[in-house]
Amino acid sequence: MTEMATGKVTIRKCEALEEMQTCFALQKEVWKFSDADLVPVRMFVVAAKIGGQVIGAFVRKNAEGNDERDGEKELISFALAIPGMRNGHCYLHSHMLAVRQQYRNGGLGRRMKLHQREDALARGFELMEWTFDPLEIKNAYLNIEKLGAIARRYNVNQYGITSSPLQGYLPSDRLVAEWWMKSKRVEAVLAGAPRAKFECRARIDVPAEIYEWKAAAATRAQALAVQEGNRERFTRAFAEGLSVLGYERDGRGNGRFLLGEWDESWRY
Ligand SMILES: CC(C)(COP(=O)(O)OP(=O)(O)OC[C@H]1O[C@@H](n2cnc3c(N)ncnc32)[C@H](O)[C@@H]1OP(=O)(O)O)[C@@H](O)C(=O)NCCC(=O)NCCS
């Protein structure tokens, strides 16, 4: 498998140096990091060479959809992953996934993850991990509910306070998503089956207002209070052996993590 095209979007590996440079530029546009926080082009090149992934989604620049061999293509999404190793097993760590603002909420993020999965499975990986901000309701919903990832590790202020406004200048707390890509559980989720049932033993809420609270200095303390409260709840729940297995969002846009007991056999 090398290429996936639907409509005018083509998803494929990035190989040429210019494509790595374009990924770098999109990173800058999406996260608005200061230069010191940016992943450099050289790291994209290395990731592609050492068994990681640099995957891009391209559309034809011309709105009329001229033949792509003639027209320039626009990169609208990229995923960057590097190989990792834990307890003697290799896995992929997906460090970044970005979709250009105007192409969001149309399923492209999910398709990018599916492409990453297909490539990873073809090369023998069973696990992909990535970290995500537990205050990001949208990302949590995508990761847990639409992809079937789970989480049972919490990293406090993983990168320090970064220069990206997406982070709202809060400590960069992260949940670690584990995506057991080959498992029947994940296959079922991806096929659109209802989530496997589990006994819900704890719930952790994120209010819909979190985005506006993070965005303004005047309300940032409210966002910080949610973060600190949830940090404690996650840490306690994980210490008790619970894992995030489900995620709900209501009509108002509030998010809710659902925690239960993870069964190791669900990795397969
Ligand atoms: C995270 C990101 C890659 C997702 O890309 P995307 O193309 O918008 O994702 P999808 O459309 O496949 O899926 C998003 C889902 O979340 C839903 N969603 C959108 N806004 C939401 C919100 N505020 N709360 C809950 N869910 C939301 C979408 O409706 C969609 O679900 P649906 O298909 O059931 O409607 C993109 O938003 C992005 O680039 N964000 C900035 C960078 C980032 O945070 N990257 C991830 C961490 S490295």
Dist CA 210 CA 252 (whole Å): 12
- Under CATH, which architecture does the 3-195 domain have? 3-Layer(aba) Sandwich (3.40)
| Band (5; pLDDT cuts 50, 70, 90) | very low
Q: Residue for token digits 């490539």? A: 119
Q: State yes or no: pLDDT of 64 exceeds 80.
A: no
Q: Could you tell me the two tokens for 144?
A: 């847990």
Mean pLDDT of 156-160: 96
Q: Are 95 and 81 in contact (CB under 8 A)?
A: yes
Q: How far is the CA of 99 from the centre of ligand 1 (A)?
A: 9
Q: How far is the CA of 63 from the centre of ligand 1 (A)?
A: 24
Dist CA 46 CA 54 (whole Å): 10
Dist CA 69 CA 164 (whole Å): 36
Mean pLDDT of 252-267: 96
Buried b (16+ CB within 10 A) or exposed e, 242-251: bbbbbbbbee
More confident residue, 122 or 73: 122
pTM here is: 0.93
Q: Which of 3-12, 99-108, 254-263 is predicted with the least confidence, judged by mean pLDDT?
A: 3-12
| Band (2; pLDDT cuts 50, 70, 90) | very low
Residue whose Cα lies nearest atom 21 of ligand 1: it is 138
Q: Are 55 and 79 in contact (CB under 8 A)?
A: yes
Taking the CA of residue 105 as reference, the ligand 1 atom at the shortest distance is: 11
Q: Which of 88-92, 144-148, 264-268 is predicted with the least confidence, judged by mean pLDDT?
A: 264-268
Q: Where are the beta strands (DSSP E) in 71-185?
A: 73-86, 89-99, 127-132, 150-155, 174-180
What was the pLDDT predicted at 1? Answer: 40
What was the pLDDT predicted at 66? Answer: 56
Q: Which residues line ligand 1 (CB under 6 A)?
A: 30, 96-99, 104-110, 132, 137-139, 141-142, 249, 253
Taking the CA of residue 96 as reference, the ligand 1 atom at the shortest distance is: 48
Q: Which of 70-84, 126-140, 150-164 is predicted with the least confidence, judged by mean pLDDT?
A: 70-84
Q: How far is the CA of 240 from the centre of ligand 1 (A)?
A: 30
Could you tell me the residue ranges of all domains in the chain?
3-195
Q: Could you tell me the two tokens for 36?
A: 């010191």
Tens digits of per-residue pLDDT, 90-101? 999 999 999 999
Residue whose Cα lies nearest atom 33 of ligand 1: it is 107
Dist CA 71 CA 48 (whole Å): 25
Q: How far is the CA of 194 from the centre of ligand 1 (A)?
A: 20
Beta bridge partners of 5: 10
Q: Which residues contact 86 (CB under 8 A, 6 or more apart)?
A: none
Tens digits of per-residue pLDDT, 129-145? 999 999 999 999 999 99
Q: Which residues contact 106 (CB under 8 A, 6 or more apart)?
A: none
Tens digits of per-residue pLDDT, 214-236? 999 999 999 999 999 999 999 99
What was the pLDDT predicted at 27? Answer: 98
Q: Which residues contact 87 (CB under 8 A, 6 or more apart)?
A: none
Q: State yes or no: pLDDT of 68 exceeds 90.
A: no
Average pLDDT of the chain?
93
What was the pLDDT predicted at 196? Answer: 84
